Amino acid sequence: MNAEADVDDAAGQLATLLGFPGWSPRATGTLDPSADVPTDVEALWATAQQRRPSLVAIRQQQAAARGGLFLAQRERLPVPAFSAGTQMTQSVTGTSTFLGFSMPLPFFDRGQGAIAKADAQIRAQDLALEAELAEAHADIERATTVLAKRRAALSELETRVVERVPTLRRMSEDAYREGGADILELLDAMRSVKDIQIAHVQQLESAKLAEEAVVSVAGLDAQ
């Protein structure tokens, strides 16, 4: 009952966090490891450079900053203005035509301030990208190392312990039926079997969380 209450509580918190009150999300699928999640750092790094959301966002900001610099450089150029028209005269009946041309001469304001600001924004985005690239690569190395260790621990647990659970259960039950063990010893054996099963589920969970961490840091599609 406590476990079911914990599940309901977690589902309610998730629904509230996403802004869907009254919704009761439920997990689907299994905790079995997915072979589709790679651990090759270089392959993941190549994917992350194109798909990691933080890197994509910074590159978009870089493009916007370069666009701002281009605009500032264009705006510093003087724009000529032409005018033409006709004018009616009252003293002497008639019309006159006029043409005009003007061009601002930027003796004092050549747009240096706007250009310097745009250039500074580009440098800031370049530095931000360098920092994010370093952080992303470190995240991938860390996540893949953790995943490899979680998978190794799971494999060892399943090979050395979990696969022997049916045999342990059968031996305990046979010993009890044949009088070689009392009820307390049988219950103790069953408790040990249950502990092994719980440890197995916990290790499966750890491996699955490690897989999701790799998916997240590399910008992979959700498995």
Report pLDDT for 76. 67
Global pTM reads: 0.69
Strand partners, 88: 95
Q: Report d(CA 77, CA 72) in Å as an integer.
A: 9
How many C-beta atoms surround the C-beta of residue 208 within 10 A? 21
Distance CA 88, CA 191 (A): 109
* pLDDT of amino acid 204: 94
Given the candidates 3.50.30.40, 3.40.50.300, 3.40.50.2000, 1.20.1600.10, the CATH classification of the domain at 35-76+103-218 is 1.20.1600.10
Gap between the Cα atoms of 223 and 37, Å rounded: 8
Per the listing, tokens 């931000």 go with 128
| pLDDT, tens digit, 9 for 90 and up, residues 162-210 | 888 888 888 888 888 888 888 888 888 899 889 999 999 999 999 999 9
pLDDT value of position 11 = 78
CB atoms closer than 10 angstroms to residue 214:
22
